[in-house]
């Protein structure tokens, strides 16, 4: 099997373009994300949610600026909360929705130049499972 040795890092190389930090849908933040980010920017969790989040489906998501980029995206400094970025950001593009429908990998590649689409979706799915299994819970 020629794809047996393919690893998650073979499927994605971040280009630092910020396209994953842009667009509708939002980045959901967990309670742990809220605590970590609030501590990092030296504010309370309550103030963080009030000032830097919007609600979507009853859950907090990071707010977006007028240019549709995440409120913490800076074109020069890139992600200004990178050391404590939300779980959803840490996992990108190895996210659960690819396991629900592997075609999501192809869809995501339309806005992310770092995603390779020259592997069979079965290989992509295997690599996403592997990456998510090894993801840290924090």
**Which residue range forms the structural domain that includes residue 53?**
8-133
Q: What whole-number distance in Å separates Cα of residue 55 and Cα of residue 57?
A: 7
138 within domain boundaries? no
Structural domain contains residue 120: yes
Question: What pLDDT is stored for residue 76 in this prediction?
Answer: 87
Beta partners for residue 79, in sequence order: 73
Task: Count structural domains, the chain.
Answer: 1
Please indicate, yes or no, if residue 2 is contained in any of the structural domains. no
Can you give the pTM of this predicted structure? Answer: 0.82
110 found inside a domain: yes
The reply to whether 89 falls in a domain is yes
As a whole number of angstroms, the distance between CA 63 and CA 105 comes to 24
Sequence-ordered list of residues with C-beta below 8 angstroms from that of 61, at least 6 positions apart, any chain: 26, 27, 28, 29, 53, 54, 55
In a domain, 94, yes or no: yes
Cβ neighbours for 96, distance < 8 A, ≥ 6 positions apart: 132
For residue 40, is it within any domain?
Answer: yes
What is the tens place of the pLDDT at every residue in 13-64? 999 888 889 876 679 999 999 999 999 999 999 999 999 999 998 999 999 9
In a domain, 21, yes or no: yes
């Amino acid at each position: 099997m020629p794809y047996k040795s393919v690893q998650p890092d073979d499927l994605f190389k971040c280009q630092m373009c910020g396209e994953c930090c842009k667009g509708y849908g939002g980045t959901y933040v967990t309670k742990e994300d809220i605590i970590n980010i609030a501590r990092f920017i030296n504010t309370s969790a309550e103030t963080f949610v009030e000032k830097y989040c919007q609600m979507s489906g009853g859950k907090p998501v990071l707010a977006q600026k007028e240019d549709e980029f995440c409120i913490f995206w800076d074109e020069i400094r890139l992600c200004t909360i990178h050391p404590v970025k939300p779980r959803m950001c840490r996992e990108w593009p190895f996210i659960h929705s690819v396991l629900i429908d592997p075609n999501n990998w192809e869809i995501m590649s339309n806005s992310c130049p770092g995603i390779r689409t020259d592997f069979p979706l079965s290989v992509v799915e295997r690599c996403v499972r592997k990456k998510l299994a090894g993801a840290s819970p924090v």
